[in-house]
Amino acid sequence: MNLIDGKKISLKIQENIAEEVKKITSSGKKPPHLAAVLVGNDGGSETYVAAKIKACGRVGFNSTLIRHPEYVTEEKLLQTIADLNNNSDIDGFIVQLPLPRHINEHKIIEAVLPSKDVDGFHPINVGRMVLNLPCYVSATPYGIVQLLEHYKIETSGKHCVVVGRSHIVGSPMSILMAKNTTLGNCTVTLCHSKTTNLSDYTRSADILICALGSPEFIKADMIKQGAVVVDVGTTRVESTESKNGFKLKGDVMFNEVSQKCSFITPVPGGVGPMTIASLLKNTLLAAKKEIYP
Ligand code: NAP
């Protein structure tokens, strides 16, 4: 079994981005600027946003964190987004999901200017991705594609099974893997909670991408010998082993699945760091105005 080291590759990508930032600033231009909007105090969201802000510092980006309390109104949040859209110093921004129930997530996502939507969630970016047009590709699927590319994992003609059909991970992932591009050309099956006999599909996967958010759901008897397994899941579970009282668990039972597969991403240290690297890449593209001149 080969461990797919997302952390290492993410740091390499960040080094390359830092080099580009140096070139930008030494030519007299301002560094790229990413803003993050965080609503409430959810522990997971706090951690993810802190990691994104820290990564900005590592590559030389400016960053701004805008916090709102859990009870913020939709109107107020929309105003924040309008301000960020109109602020020419901000190249791109994200609104950390999930949002509280009283806020319409779709309305928020659609309010972000597509040219600043570095998470790649806006319908314009999703549509452009489907049509193979220049766009910001959703950070997690984009990160996974880069991992497969780095490890030279053959995708053409392979059966890729994606478990989970969310708008931010599973669905865009399935589209990318089926594309007529060097990294694609898979025959894709997209599974979800209504899929019957899930194991029949997962066992036939050459590449299995798990994004369900159900800790250790995928067991060794659900995969084919030699499969490539990508574990997107990150569920915080209570743990007495760590100082903060929790640890992250993936969707895959790592100990047993790793005995049977050819490649696997660990949790943490697999897909998560690549999501951050992709977000930084998208922000650099936004600063260079390469997608939306
Ligand atoms: P989500 O919106 O909750 O979607 C979960 C998907 O899994 C849904 O499509 C659901 O089916 C499907 N599902 C749930 N239980 C299932 C089962 N027993 N069998 C088959 N399908 C099942 O989650 P998400 O936002 O895509 O995130 C998934 C996981 O990835 C979470 O753990 C999240 O924290 C993690 N994540 C990690 C990163 C990263 O950077 N590492 C980024 C994003 C998300 P239905 O559609 O039928 O409900």
pLDDT value of position 181: 85
Pocket of ligand 1, beta carbon within 6 A:
140, 163-166, 168-170, 191-195, 198, 211-214, 232-235, 271-272, 275
Q: Where are the beta strands (DSSP E) in the chain?
A: 2-3, 33-39, 62-68, 92-95, 159-163, 187-191, 207-210, 228-231, 235-238, 246-249, 263-264
User: Please, what is the end-to-end C-alpha distance for the chain in angstroms?
Assistant: 44
Round the average pLDDT of the chain to a whole number and report it.
Answer: 96
Q: Is the pLDDT of residue 43 over 90?
A: no
Going by pLDDT thresholds of 50, 70 and 90, the confidence category of residue 249 is very high
Q: Which residues pair with 248 in a beta bridge?
A: 236
Q: Which fold has domain 29-113?
A: Rossmann fold (3.40.50)
pLDDT value of position 118: 98
3-state SS class at 120:
coil
Instruction: Give the range among 15-29, 61-75, 79-93, 241-255 with minimum mean pLDDT.
Output: 241-255
Which residues of the chain are in CATH 3.40.50.720 domains?
139-272
- For the stretch 150-169, pLDDT in tens is 999 999 999 999 999 999 99
**Across residues 230-246, what is the average pLDDT?**
90
User: What is the best residue among 165, 166, 202 to mutate for testing ligand 1's pocket, by most ligand atoms within 8 Å of CB?
Assistant: 166
Q: Is the pLDDT of residue 182 over 90?
A: no
Chain centroid to CA 24: how far?
Answer: 26
Atom of ligand 1 nearest to the CA of 217: 18
Which residues of the chain are in CATH 3.40.50.10860 domains?
29-113
pLDDT value of position 183: 85
Distances (CA, A) of 103 to 72, 167, 171: 9, 17, 23
Domain 139-272 class in CATH = alpha beta
Going by pLDDT thresholds of 50, 70 and 90, the confidence category of residue 264 is very high
